[in-house]
Amino acid sequence: MKKVLLAGCVMFAASLSASPFEKPEDAIEYRQAAFTMIATNFGDLAEMVKGRKDWDQQTFSQRAQFISQLTYMPEEAFKVEGTDKGQTKAKPEIWSDWEGFSAKLDKFQGDMANLAKVSLEGDERATKRAFGEAAKNCKSCHSDYKYR
């Protein structure tokens, strides 16, 4: 009985760590959706920073919090075999230079966590500086790892 229970627990644990994606296309669609949500929120922040939209610290902070959480979503979907092909703007360098890509993704996650934290403090100037740092890393990653 103990062996059956142990085997069931192992199988259950393995199913939890398995990829939720049945096909590479599912993973591509997932990561594109995550990046679309990031871009939409980031674009709103950029409009405020550039003065094209009224500054609203509360909205800015809320969007920064969203992005900070969203930055962790796409990585899993890049690890699915076959996601380097199909309807994607991802360059092959993501997979041939995983270490470099992963480092930039880690930096982006850190930059966005910092922006989320700084924006909660309510200092517009400091928030804009933190945004600039995050934006610089976004552009760098896009240049190296994304087709336009």
Q: Against a cut of 0.85, is the pTM above it?
A: no
Confirm whether 7 is domain-assigned. Answer: no
The residue type at 81: E
pLDDT at 116 over 80: yes
Q: How many domains does the chain have?
A: 1
pLDDT at 13 over 80: no
Number of other CB atoms surrounding residue 17 within 10 Å: 6
Confirm whether 62 is domain-assigned. Answer: yes
Confirm whether 6 is domain-assigned. Answer: no
The whole-chain average pLDDT of the chain stands at: 89
The packing angle between helices 57-70 and 98-120, to 10°, is 150
Q: What is the mean pLDDT of residues 68-80?
A: 95
Q: What is the mean pLDDT of residues 126-132?
A: 97
Sequence-distant (≥ 6) Cβ neighbours of residue 36 within 8 angstroms: none
pLDDT at 76 over 80: yes
**Tens-digit pLDDT profile for residues 80-115:** 999 999 899 999 999 999 999 999 999 999 999 999
pLDDT at 42 over 80: yes
Confirm whether 125 is domain-assigned. Answer: yes
pLDDT class for 17, splitting at 50, 70, 90?
A: low
- What is the pLDDT, as a whole number, of residue 138? 84
pLDDT class for 4, splitting at 50, 70, 90?
A: very low
Contact 108, 67 (CB under 8 A): no
- What is the pLDDT, as a whole number, of residue 16? 46
DSSP-assigned beta bridge partners for residue 90 = 146
The residue type at 106: D
Q: Look at residue 21 and give its three-state secondary structure.
A: coil
Confirm whether 119 is domain-assigned. Answer: yes
CA distance 13 to 10: 5
- How many CA within 13 A on the CB side of residue 78? 23
Sequence-distant (≥ 6) Cβ neighbours of residue 87 within 8 angstroms: 25, 28
We report the CATH number of the domain holding residue 117 as 1.20.120.10
pLDDT at 63 over 70: yes
Confirm whether 4 is domain-assigned. Answer: no
Confirm whether 42 is domain-assigned. Answer: yes
Q: Look at residue 36 and give its three-state secondary structure.
A: helix
- Please give the residue range of the domain that contains residue 132: 26-80+87-145
- How far, in Å, are 5, 11, 14 from residue 2 at the CA level? 5, 14, 18
